[in-house]
Amino acid sequence: MRRLPPRRPGRTNFWDHLSELERRTLVQVGVARRVHVNETLPVRDGPGIAIVTEGAWVRLQAGNARTSRSVIDLAAPGDLISALHPTDPANPQWPEEATDIYGVVLARGVILDVAQEMIPIILGDLPYIPTLIRRIQNDQLHFAWQLQAGRRLKIDIRLARLLLGLLHRFGEKPVGQHNVLMPPLSQGDLAAWIGASETSVGRVLKRWRCEGLVRTGYSTVAITDHKVLRAIADSPTMPYAKLPTTVGEMAAGYLNLGRTRSVPVPADLPPGLHVRGADGHLPQGPYRGTRAQRRGDR
């Protein structure tokens, strides 16, 4: 059976959307340092930008103990470790139970840190960056709140939603005869992300392997039957909706954006869940042309 081309990432990658001038400026004012697997990176409460570069992957989690941690999100090469507090400590928050947030390195690489005192300079000279960060905040919060909203669903539904969400956001890479999800996640990471025990997640993955839905390896998962997994992800009480992955899809899901100070709740989230505090304005895509031209576009 011929392997299909791997699916491309659908999320907004911070570094890829910057101009050369913006990249050079961040490199000049920031400090690059090498990080290693299992290194813990405290996520500061105040302003500051930390960018994952050169191959690193970082798992964002609440709590630092293996048995009590809760995975919140991932940062791939080019991503901000956390987009919620890089420019303003009053930015939106993760779900309520997400306190004492840490970043844990999953694959070694380099982190570019921009200190708090440099943030006003960055915002003043590079006005596109805060707009881009707000767009990434919308992406991250939509994903986090959608998973949080499904915490009472059956484990197989939660796990299917997580795997499909990772597929849409981070894409796949070819490994051997299969395309595997890009993130290097263990079975324990998947369990901590959906709020289930590692044993329960292991049973579901074993059943799916027997049914030909997935293939698993060391910190790898390959989805081999997307249609069936998509059917599993649906629930009569909370239908599954693919996360918006393009500007057009996001515009369709976030109505009446404007320059407000709150994010409209997407239609696929149940009533009562509110995402707080980010600007709902959606930029019209990555950098194009000079800064003056870009200001005119906006």
Residue 90 covered by a domain = yes
- State mean pLDDT over 117-134: 86
Shared domain check, 253 and 135: yes
- pLDDT classification of 251: cutoffs 50, 70, 90: very low
Q: Dihedral of the CA atoms 128, 130, 133, 135 (nearest 10)? A: -70
Rounded to whole angstroms, how far apart are CA atoms 66 and 83?
24
Rounded to whole angstroms, how far apart are CA atoms 111 and 256?
36
- pLDDT classification of 267: cutoffs 50, 70, 90: very low
Cβ-in-10-Å burial (0-12, 13-18, 19+) of 168 comes to middle
The answer, yes or no, to whether residue 117 has pLDDT greater than 50, is yes
Q: What is the CATH number of the domain that holds 262?
A: 2.60.120.10
Q: What is the CATH number of the domain that holds 212?
A: 1.10.10.10
**What are the angstrom distances between the C-alpha of 286 and each of 13, 78, 220, 245, 296?**
10, 14, 30, 14, 14
Q: What is the mean pLDDT of the chain?
A: 77
AA letter at 119: I
Please tell me the total count of domains within the chain: 2
Shared domain check, 176 and 78: no
pLDDT tens sequence across 204-216: 999 999 999 999 9
pLDDT tens sequence across 30-42: 999 999 999 998 7
Per the CB < 8 A criterion, the answer to whether 136 and 14 are in contact is yes
Shared domain check, 245 and 120: yes
Shared domain check, 178 and 270: no
Note the pTM of the prediction, 2 decimals: 0.78
- State mean pLDDT over 2-28: 89
The answer, yes or no, to whether residue 293 has pLDDT greater than 80, is no
pLDDT top residue among 88 and 73: 73
